[in-house]
């Protein structure tokens, strides 16, 4: 594998860019720069293997293969065809092209995507007489093109399936949180392994599973395959050594867990147990069937981190409006001394919960604008806490 320095881009959920930049820097990335929706960075090609295996926050790791100016579809075609695609992957690999643009002058992004695909295939045809097949559902290789008003950047996806697909999710509730977003919430909450953590509305368990993976120092990508395994420069023995080093550092579970999950829904807890087992961290988390409004704190202090339902698992806006003050009262009565971090797309929570947030972090769950509200919980009588702003 070449030791030359390559350029990469790692997209992530909006709001996690700074945290992802820190994570990539800790993995050895150079020239790390956060941008809207992701982070650019540089390093040796082997860094792509480490980043795919280790990143808890990235959605993909894209390897830059070309960059240039364009004015029209013909310019774009020439830029793409100028890349030596047969040097990057074999003609027997199936192909998919994805294109995104910001302020592009091109009239049709669909036509631009077709031009990119044609240029890749024509380069193969000119080199060997045959073209790779297109497979939009399960491609071996994904080409990503990103267009601005004047410049085009071409990437090969080294991840394959998105990195939030860790491989452990067997069952999920109706509105599962993506794994890298859950890992990002943990990072933003300030939680560190060894600190008690409770998700009292854990559903299928994504938050506690991501916490357990981090506490165990288990690389999130250990249970899956990656797109770089289909690229020409893939070094199988080097990859096996990287994976084995990651396996060797996994910590055993402690005698007494400091991670706790509960839910009022027995079926959700069953899904959570299955997912914990699939992730290899079942012994790290203590689960209980309990109503968030009634359960007690599992330790004198710690962090509550949860994603309450916002119009998905509860039936109506009125039910949620009645729920939030009761949730605030339960925290004041039973979790004094704890920090509560609540992630929601229902921005009414800040007004209704009866707690004053010490921090409000904007985030996106897909296209849904959300907030991570942080509350320092002190004891108080129901309904007497300060009223907060609207986020």
Mean pLDDT score, 245-252: 97
Are 298 and 286 in contact by the 8 Å Cβ rule? The answer is: yes
Give mean pLDDT, residues 58-79: 98
Q: What is residue 379's predicted lDDT score, i.e. its pLDDT?
A: 78
Under the banding of pLDDT at 50, 70 and 90, the label for residue 321 is confident
- pTM to 2 decimals? 0.92
pLDDT digits 0-9 by tens, 130-179: 999 999 999 999 999 999 999 999 999 999 999 999 999 876 555 579 99
CA separation for the pair 153, 302 (Å, rounded): 45
pLDDT of res. 313:
46
- Confidence class of residue 315 from pLDDT cuts 50, 70 and 90? low
- Rounded to whole angstroms, the Cα distance separating 338 from 42 reads 40
Q: Edge-to-edge strands of the sheet including 197-199? A: 285-289, 259-263, 197-199, 303-306, 339-344, 368-376, 359-365
Q: Which of 212-221, 330-339, 345-354 has the lowest mean pLDDT?
A: 345-354
User: For 2-72, where are the alpha helices, taking DSSP H only?
Assistant: 17-26, 46-54
Segment 18-41 mean pLDDT: 97
pLDDT confidence of residue 169: 87
Average pLDDT rounded to a whole number, residues 205-211:
97
Return the pLDDT at 317.
77
Percent of the chain residues topping a pLDDT of 90: 88
Per-domain residue ranges for the chain?
Answer: 5-157, 179-218+253-376
CATH topology classification for 5-157: VC0802-like (3.30.2130)
Pair of tokens at residue 350: 């800040």
Instruction: Kindly indicate the confidence band of residue 311, based on its pLDDT and cuts at 50, 70 and 90.
Output: low
- What's the rounded mean pLDDT across residues 79-99? 98
Tokens 């599973």 -> residue: 209
- For the domain covering 179-218+253-376, report its CATH number: 3.40.50.150
| Mode of pairing for the β-strands spanning 197-199 and 259-263 | parallel
Q: Are 1 and 239 in contact (CB under 8 A)?
A: no
Contact 193, 253 (CB under 8 A): no
Instruction: Report residue 314's pLDDT band, with 50, 70 and 90 as the boundaries.
Output: very low
Selected residue with higher pLDDT from 310 and 75: 75
Give per-residue pLDDT as tens, 265-286: 999 999 999 999 999 999 999 9
Q: How far apart are CA 166 and CA 44, in angstroms?
A: 24
């Amino acid at each position: 594998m070449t030791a030359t320095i390559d350029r990469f881009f790692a997209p992530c959920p909006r709001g996690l860019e700074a945290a992802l930049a820190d994570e990539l820097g800790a993995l050895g990335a150079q020239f790390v720069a956060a941008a809207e929706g992701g982070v650019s960075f540089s390093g040796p090609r082997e860094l792509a293997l480490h980043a795919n295996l280790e990143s808890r926050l990235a959605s993909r790791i894209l390897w830059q293969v070309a960059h240039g100016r364009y004015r029209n579809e013909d310019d774009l075609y020439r830029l793409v065809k100028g890349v030596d695609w047969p040097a990057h992957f074999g003609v027997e690999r199936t192909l998919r092209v994805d294109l995104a643009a910001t302020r592009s002058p091109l009239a049709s992004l669909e036509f631009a995507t077709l031009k990119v695909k044609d240029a890749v295939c024509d380069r193969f045809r000119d080199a060997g007489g045959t073209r790779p097949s297109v497979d939009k559902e399960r491609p071996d290789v994904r080409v990503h093109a990103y267009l601005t008003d004047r410049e085009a950047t071409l990437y090969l996806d080294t991840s394959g399936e998105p990195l939030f697909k860790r491989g452990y999710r067997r069952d999920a509730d109706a509105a599962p949180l993506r794994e890298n977003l859950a890992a990002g919430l943990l990072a933003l909450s300030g939680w560190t392994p060894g600190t008690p953590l409770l998700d009292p509305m854990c559903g299928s368990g994504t938050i506690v599973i991501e916490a357990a993976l981090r506490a165990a120092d288990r690389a999130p990508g250990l249970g899956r395959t990656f797109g770089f395994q289909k690229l020409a420069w893939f070094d199988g023995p080097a990859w096996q050594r990287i994976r084995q080093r990651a396996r060797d550092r996994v910590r055993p579970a402690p005698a007494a867990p400091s991670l706790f999950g509960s839910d009022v829904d027995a079926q959700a807890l069953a899904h959570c147990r299955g997912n914990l087992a699939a992730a290899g961290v079942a012994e790290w988390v203590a689960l209980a069937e309990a109503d968030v409004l009634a359960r007690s704190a599992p330790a004198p202090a710690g962090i509550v981190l949860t994603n309450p339902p916002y119009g998905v698992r509860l039936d109506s806006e009125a039910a949620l409006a009645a729920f939030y003050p009761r949730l605030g009262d339960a925290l004041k009565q039973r979790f004094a001394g704890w920090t509560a971090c609540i992630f929601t797309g229902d921005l009414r929570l800040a007004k209704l919960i009866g707690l004053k947030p010490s921090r409000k972090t904007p985030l996106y769950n897909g296209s849904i604008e959300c907030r991570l509200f942080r509350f320092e919980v002190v004891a108080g009588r129901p309904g007497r806490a300060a009223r907060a702003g609207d986020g």
